[in-house]
Amino acid sequence: MNPVDTQTKTAPLDVEQIRQDFPILRRKVHGKRLVYLDNAATSQKPQSVIDAISHYYSHSNANVHRGVHCLAEEATEAYETVRRKVCQFINGDDPNSIVFTRNTTESVNLVAHAWGRKFLGKGDEVVLTVTEHHSNLVPWQLLAEDTGCKLRFIDIDDEGRLRTDHLDEYITEKTKLVCMGHVSNALGTIHSVRTIACAARAVGALVFVDGAQGAPHGPVNVETLDCDFYAYSPHKALGPLGIGVLWARRDLLEEMNPFLGGGEMIRNVSLERSTWAGVPYKFEAGTPSVADAVGLGASIDYLMELGMENVRTHEKQIVSYAMERLAELPFIRFFGPRDPADRCGLVSFIDADIHPHDLGTVVDQHGVAIRAGHHCAKPLMHRLGVVATARASFYIYNDRSDVNKLIDSLLEARKVFGL
């Protein structure tokens, strides 16, 4: 299938049909239909992904890149085919620019170690944003401690959009790298990557994009985003847990140090020293998660068949409806941009009288799975002046009936607390 064709085909998602593909959505929770609204944490998996993993273990299981036997060749071909698919999915031009990791977190750590520790030092600055998930913050803090480089943070406006009006105050001649989320997991804001990348380019800085909440929810084109690194977690995009993606410009991968040492990542080894394999293998030490890669391939096929533009349109409609319904509840305050065009399919909110954790527990009794907490974005919670929020995050198998169920269960929570 040609992914370019499927990305341009526009058609509304057939949610009823899609639901049939997800066995877990047939189960009940506390005797109620499962309304899964925790997709920003991880998505559910279609039968085709589950089958692909099972088929791999039943038919082709072997270690990759090592054997000369039939199964080893099949496993290697399956694994490398997925590298090519991922490259198409994010519109990269070179499959060898795709490194398989365990998740977004590992991808960030890889770059912080392999690029950051080689190229940054005292006097250099890394610019982040106050909205970052801990995964795209802590590795840079560790880097700053080790190298003496300094971290700076772009602030947000009242609607949770990055302040791009004074970028020259943050991004200066000292800036060597800008690290930003594509989409905020706690606010839902789709960040203006291109604007910020443009400011970074003007001072010769590189751009790292944490795409954990971007890639699953709409078309990604690393060329038009104008970034140098893009990381995401396939488990949030219908794929299996346990495999992550890092895309980087090939020349950067070439000049970076290895991350983990061990088998597979070497060209030659003597007792005293070793030399490194070419990219991307230099960054893939040890036995990779081959079955998860195969599952990732199946998840990309599924999403491409739907068309990522259609996924985006669907989420925009559903989040728009969710905000409309939440706005009817005077005790609810939600965060992030009001304009659905600026946000992905999630909404973060608080009830004026009920702690988000209590809210999460009560709505769960009605079969509604939401997330409550700081969403691994403690500095952002602090910036918003709250300790936690409740978050409903939608995906391709959610529709208005799920939003209605959420609203009904929020009203039930009020009753439970005598409000």
Q: Which is nearer to ligand PMP, 217 or 405 (CB)?
A: 217
For residue 3, whether the previous peptide bond is cis, meaning omega lies within 30 degrees of 0, is: no
233 part of the interface to ligand PMP, by CB under 6 A:
yes
Rg (CA), the chain: 22
Instruction: Annotate each residue in 86-105 with x if it binds ligand PMP (CB under 6 A) or - if it does not, as one string.
Output: -----------------xxx
Residues 80 and 401: their CA atoms lie apart, in Å, by: 40
Whether the CB-CB separation of 160 and 336 falls below 8 Å is answered with yes
Instruction: Annotate each residue in 31-60 with x if it binds ligand PMP (CB under 6 A) or - if it does not, as one string.
Output: ---------x--------------------
For residue 295, give the 3-state DSSP assignment.
Answer: helix
- From the candidates 87, 179, 344, 376, give the one annotated as an active-site residue: 376
Sequence-separated (6 or more) residues with CB below 8 Å from residue 265:
258, 276, 277, 281, 282, 283, 284, 285
Kindly report the backbone phi and psi dihedral angles of residue 284, in degrees, each rounded to the nearest multiple of 5, phi listed first: -120, 70
Shortest Å distance, C-beta 352 to ligand PMP: 26
For residue 230, give both structure tokens: 């893009």
189 part of the interface to ligand PMP, by CB under 6 A:
no
Q: Give the Cα-Cα-Cα angle 183, 205, 142 (nearest 5 degrees).
A: 70
Q: Which is nearer to ligand PMP, 197 or 376 (CB)?
A: 376
Whether the CB-CB separation of 203 and 172 falls below 8 Å is answered with yes
Angle between helices 356-364 and 400-416 (to 10 degrees): 110
User: Is 198 assigned a catalytic role?
Assistant: no
Q: Which is nearer to ligand PMP, 7 or 185 (CB)?
A: 185
Shortest Å distance, C-beta 254 to ligand PMP: 25
Residues 266 and 278: their CA atoms lie apart, in Å, by: 8
| DSSP code of residue 134 | G
Q: Which is nearer to ligand PMP, 18 or 190 (CB)?
A: 190
Shortest Å distance, C-beta 199 to ligand PMP: 21
Of 210, 292, 315, 399, which lies in the binding site for ligand PMP, with binding defined by CB under 6 A? 210
Q: Which is nearer to ligand PMP, 97 or 213 (CB)?
A: 213
Q: Which is nearer to ligand PMP, 175 or 184 (CB)?
A: 184
Which residue has tokens 């977190």?
A: 105
Of 60, 76, 97, 136, which lies in the binding site for ligand PMP, with binding defined by CB under 6 A? 136
212 part of the interface to ligand PMP, by CB under 6 A:
yes
Burial group, residue 365, by CB count within 10 angstroms (0-12, 13-18, 19+): middle
Shortest Å distance, C-beta 226 to ligand PMP: 19
Shortest Å distance, C-beta 257 to ligand PMP: 22
For residue 273, give both structure tokens: 């020293």
Kindly report the backbone phi and psi dihedral angles of residue 29, in degrees, each rounded to the nearest multiple of 5, phi listed first: -125, 125
Q: Give the Cα-Cα-Cα angle 55, 57, 63 (nearest 5 degrees).
A: 130
185 part of the interface to ligand PMP, by CB under 6 A:
yes
Of 181, 336, 340, 360, which lies in the binding site for ligand PMP, with binding defined by CB under 6 A? 181
Residues 213 and 346: their CA atoms lie apart, in Å, by: 10
Residues 321 and 399: their CA atoms lie apart, in Å, by: 9
Of 135, 175, 299, 389, which lies in the binding site for ligand PMP, with binding defined by CB under 6 A? 135
264 part of the interface to ligand PMP, by CB under 6 A:
no
Shortest Å distance, C-beta 212 to ligand PMP: 3
For residue 102, give both structure tokens: 């365990």
Shortest Å distance, C-beta 350 to ligand PMP: 19
348 part of the interface to ligand PMP, by CB under 6 A:
no
Residues 233 and 227: their CA atoms lie apart, in Å, by: 17
Q: Which is nearer to ligand PMP, 216 or 307 (CB)?
A: 216
Which residue stretch of 70-78, 131-139, 151-159, 329-337 sits at the interface with ligand PMP (rule: CB under 6 A)? 131-139
391 part of the interface to ligand PMP, by CB under 6 A:
no
Residues 218 and 220: their CA atoms lie apart, in Å, by: 6
Shortest Å distance, C-beta 184 to ligand PMP: 7
Q: Which residues sit at the interface with ligand PMP, rule CB under 6 A?
A: 40, 103-105, 133, 135-136, 181, 185, 210, 212-213, 233, 376
Catalytic residue set: 376
